[in-house]
Amino acid sequence: VLFAPLYLSNYCVNGCLYCPYHAKNKNIPRKKLTQEEIRAEVMALQDMGHKRLAIEAGEDPANNPIEYILESVKTIYSTKRKNGAIRRVNVNIAATTVENYARLKEAEIGTYILFQETYNRASYERLHPTGPKHNYAWHTQAMDRAMDGGIDDVGLGVLFGLESYRYEFAGLLMHAEHLEAAKGVGPHTISVPRVKKADGIDPDVFDNSIPDQIFEKIIACIRIAVPYTGMIISTREGETVRAAALRLGISQISGGSRTSVGGYTQKERPHDTEQFDVHDQRSLDEVAMWLIKSKHIPSFCTACYRAGRTGDRFMSLCKSGQISNCCQPNALMTLAEYLVDYASPSCASLGFGMIEDELKKIPNAKVRQIARGHIEEIKNSNARDFRF
């Protein structure tokens, strides 16, 4: 499944030592998108073919209050150009209250994502010397509060490189185990970012960086340990690492990403507000073509939460493997949408070849027939958004 991050604001009151948005960084320009600017960014993302976004904003109660986030979610869902539509908005904002999580739920967000950064308390407090994020317990218990507020899809992650990977790996699994035991639902996703270079940030300062080989083992072990979870890798990693990660169990990747505020409507790179260097700088079309060539179906599916498959319902379908009855036809139908509406001619030709091959592999004859019918409709009309 493909997605893109959308940076709304880099105002931040925290002092995270590994992030260029920390409050003391005076080099970086501060920027917060207006609703009009968000609309323009969303249209640029839709014109690439994206259907699923993860919004990002620093923690700043004055500049980025919850009302701003809620209004932005509404703007994103209501922006439509041609056949474009953002169908799922995942939200990556600072730990907040149960009441605010309930408001996010009401705004129909997809997954609430919050990286722990590090599970080691002493390191956590040292790496977050100032601001509300300094409070380890408030941050670590955020997912419990999110679930109490009604959000049943939450996304975990650590920033590998800050602490010993063995500690983080154990912490991550214990967090997943805790959520399952206490709330009945484990993490919807787990992300595996590594510390990267950015304005004023030198990854070599953090002495726990992990080589690619260990990184790949971590991905494989998370895949085995939490088989029901979606696993995410971003454009922090380059093509080679992403190729290996996909083989080992990554199920969601970003493509054509900009990690700056307003980056999708700016032509020149790098942008002065980038949160980290983008290693995979290929366009979404290039990423889609690369996936097709390596026999992964580029999917733009967002069906589950809109069909009510969230939380424990989603997890039981994943654990039994039944979810693939939905993922596979949805992947092919949303790929067809992408190919008709946005892809380059060479990507479209490769993609339709893949669709033909993959349709034959759908085991259930009725599902196969429905999917084929919808794909024909997509080719011949403006009808969109069929889903299982």
Q: Which residues contribute to the site for ligand SF4 (CB under 6 A)?
A: 1, 12, 14, 16, 19, 21-22, 58-59, 94, 133, 299, 301-304, 323, 326-327, 330
How many Å apart are CA 19 and CA 198, to the nearest integer?
Answer: 7
Provide, rounded to whole angstroms, the least separation between the CB of residue 181 and ligand SF4: 23
Instruction: Give CA separation, 45 vs 41, 284, 388, in Å.
Output: 6, 10, 24
**With respect to ligand SF4, which residue has the nearer C-beta, 28 or 44?**
28
Helices of type H across 229-297: 239-248, 284-293
Provide, rounded to whole angstroms, the least separation between the CB of residue 216 and ligand SF4: 23
Instruction: Give CA separation, 263 vs 32, 42, 79, 96, 255, in Å.
Output: 12, 11, 18, 27, 14
Instruction: Give CA separation, 251 vs 31, 172, 175, 272, in Å.
Output: 32, 18, 20, 31
Provide, rounded to whole angstroms, the least separation between the CB of residue 217 and ligand SF4: 25
**With respect to ligand SF4, which residue has the nearer C-beta, 316 or 344?**
316
Residue 233 CA from chain centroid, whole number: 8
**With respect to ligand SF4, which residue has the nearer C-beta, 219 or 303?**
303
How many Å apart are CA 170 and CA 189, to the nearest integer?
Answer: 16
Provide, rounded to whole angstroms, the least separation between the CB of residue 371 and ligand SF4: 12
Buried-exposed string 57-84: b where 16+ CB fall within 10 A, e elsewhere = bbbbeebbebebbbebbebbbebeeebb
Query: In terms of Cα–Cα distance, which of 161, 162, 143, 140 is closest to 153?
Result: 143
**With respect to ligand SF4, which residue has the nearer C-beta, 120 or 302?**
302
How many Å apart are CA 387 and CA 374, to the nearest integer?
Answer: 9
Task: Provide CB contacts within 8 A for 83, sequence distance 6+.
Answer: 337, 341, 382, 384
**With respect to ligand SF4, which residue has the nearer C-beta, 42 or 333?**
333
Instruction: Identify the bridge partners of residue 252 per DSSP, sorted by sequence position.
Output: 232
**With respect to ligand SF4, which residue has the nearer C-beta, 133 or 236?**
133
**With respect to ligand SF4, which residue has the nearer C-beta, 79 or 330?**
330
The CA-CA-CA angle for residues 5, 220, 363, to 5°, reads 85
Provide, rounded to whole angstroms, the least separation between the CB of residue 379 and ligand SF4: 21
Provide, rounded to whole angstroms, the least separation between the CB of residue 368 and ligand SF4: 16
Instruction: Identify the bridge partners of residue 194 per DSSP, sorted by sequence position.
Output: 160
**With respect to ligand SF4, which residue has the nearer C-beta, 186 or 267?**
186
Provide, rounded to whole angstroms, the least separation between the CB of residue 213 and ligand SF4: 27
Provide, rounded to whole angstroms, the least separation between the CB of residue 372 and ligand SF4: 18
Provide, rounded to whole angstroms, the least separation between the CB of residue 341 and ligand SF4: 18
How many Å apart are CA 314 and CA 110, to the nearest integer?
Answer: 13
Exposed/middle/buried for 292, CB within 10 Å: 0-12, 13-18, 19+? buried
How many Å apart are CA 33 and CA 317, to the nearest integer?
Answer: 38
**With respect to ligand SF4, which residue has the nearer C-beta, 9 or 79?**
9
